[in-house]
Amino acid sequence: MVMRVFVAGGSGVLGQRLVPQLVARGHQVTATTTSRAKLDLLERLGADGVVMDGLDAAAVGEAVAAARPDVVVHQMTAISMAHAGKPDIKHPDRWFAKTNRLRTEGTDHLLAAAEATGVPHFVAQGYASWNGIREGGWVKTEEDPLDLLEGTAANVGLKALSRVEDVVLKAGGAVLRYGAFYGPGAIDDQVELLRKRQYPLVGRGTGYSSWVHLDDAASATVLAVEQKARGVYNIVDDDPAPASEWLPYLAGCAGAKRPRRVPVWLARLLAGDQAVVMMTEGRGFSSAKAKRELGWEPRYPSWRQGFKEELA
C-alpha cells in the first residue's frame, strides 16, 4: 500500500538512507531540512523537500498539514559539526543541547501537528547502544529499564530520550531505539580521532555497546512505517561487544595504531562520566523483538563485517 510519509530530519545521516528506501518501496515522501541548500539533495533522493525549523511550532504545523501524511517519522537531531560544533563527550549536555530540545519541544510540535492533521501513525528515533541499566547481564531487551545516569552531564539527554518514549507511546506510536550508527558520514569524527591516537580505551574496556549500520536502521524504520508498529523496539545488530573488542578492531580497519589505554580516574577527568560508563560498565541490547514482530533482518549482522566494508 502506497503511503504518504513525512520524514522530519530527512537530510540527516539516517534520513539520507531512509528516504531512498521509502521511495524504492513506492511511498510518497516529504522530507524536511533546516537548510535551503539541501533541498536539491532531498529532490535527488526522491522526496519533496521542505525547509522547516523543528522548534517552530507554527512551521511544523504548516509543513505537516501541507503534506497530509499517513505517518510522521521523527528523525530530527542537531549533532553535526554545522549544528553542534566539535564533539564534546565530556559535556554532552552542551553538545546535545539543541538535539535535546528537538527531542522534547520538537517531538511535542510534531505530535501536535499530527493530531491536528489527523495523522494516524507516528514513529520516533530512540537510542540503545551502551545505555542499558547497569545491573544483571550485559545484553538488555525492551523489558529492561534504560540507565539515565542520574547526577551526570549525560542525564539531561537521556531524560529527553526517555520522554520521547513516554509521549510517543502515549500517542500510540513506535519508538525505534537505534544502536550506535555507523555508515556513510556517521563515524568520521571517531575514525579521525583513532588515526590521531586520541580515542583511548578506558580501564579494561569491559563496557558493552551495540551498533547498527545506517542502512539497517533505515530498513527497520521502513518496516515500522509499513506495519504501523506500536511500542518500543531495539534496532541493533547481532553482536553486542565490549569496547576492548570493537575499538581496536575499528582502529585496525581505519589503518590506525592500536588505541592507547588510560586509567578510569584520568578518563573521568578528561572525558567525563559518560565515556567512563560506556567503556567500563555499558550494557548492549538485543533486537530479538524487532526480528520477531517486524520481520527485520540486518544486512550487517555484525559491526565486524560492517566496519571492514565501510573503511575498505
pLDDT value for 87: 66
pLDDT tens string 229-280: 999 999 999 999 999 999 999 999 999 999 999 999 999 999 999 999 999 9
pLDDT value for 1: 87
Q: Write out residues in the chain with pLDDT < 70, as ranges.
A: 80-87
From 19, 22, 21, select the one nearest 2 (Cα to Cα). 22
pTM for this predicted structure: 0.96
pLDDT value for 96: 83
Task: For 72-88, give one letter per residue: b (16+ CB within 10 A) or e.
Answer: bbbbbbbbeeeebeeee
